């Protein structure tokens, strides 16, 4: 999958193709870099299908992705959010999110994120 680094200003640096283990190692390295909390590590299948993980300190991680699978029903789809933001505690949980993104369908991945958000 393609990986990249992104910051809060929208600057994006393409890193190339990474395996899931390489993406996880990149996340670990990023976590150890002090003062770089504005940086997100992302993986993408396409321009619209992506996940970004950023550090909110040494043990807290923010996950961001757009919602691509819309709920059924007119009112539900009309009032649904366009993105999904989840905070997790611990590097193990953040690594698991990369593993899920790499291995599962988009629909399954979004359901998983929604389940840990609640």
Summarised one tens digit per residue, pLDDT across range 43-76 is: 999 888 999 999 887 788 999 998 766 555 544 4
Give pLDDT tens digits for 73-93: 544 444 455 678 999 999 999
The pLDDT, as a whole number, for residue 29 is 85
3-state secondary structure of 15: strand
Q: What percentage of the chain carries pLDDT values higher than 70?
A: 81
> pLDDT: is 98 or 74 the higher one?
98
Answer yes or no: are the C-beta atoms of 25 and 41 closer than 8 Å.
no
Kindly tell me the sign of the dihedral angle through the C-alpha atoms of 105, 110, 115, 116.
positive
Measured CA to CA, the distance from residue 55 to residue 46 in angstroms comes to: 23
The pLDDT, as a whole number, for residue 38 is 65
> pLDDT: is 70 or 26 the higher one?
26
């Amino acid at each position: 999958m393609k990986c990249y680094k992104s910051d809060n200003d929208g600057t994006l640096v393409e890193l190339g193709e990474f395996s899931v283990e390489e993406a996880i190692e990149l996340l670990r390295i990023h976590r150890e870099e002090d003062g770089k909390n504005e940086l997100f590590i992302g993986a993408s299948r396409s321009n619209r299908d992506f996940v970004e993980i950023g550090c909110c300190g040494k043990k807290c991680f923010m996950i961001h992705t757009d919602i691509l699978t819309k709920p059924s029903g007119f009112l539900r789809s009309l009032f649904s959010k366009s993105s999904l933001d989840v905070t997790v505690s611990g590097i193990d949980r953040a690594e698991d999110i990369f593993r899920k993104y790499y291995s599962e369908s988009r629909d399954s991945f979004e359901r998983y994120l929604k389940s840990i958000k609640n």
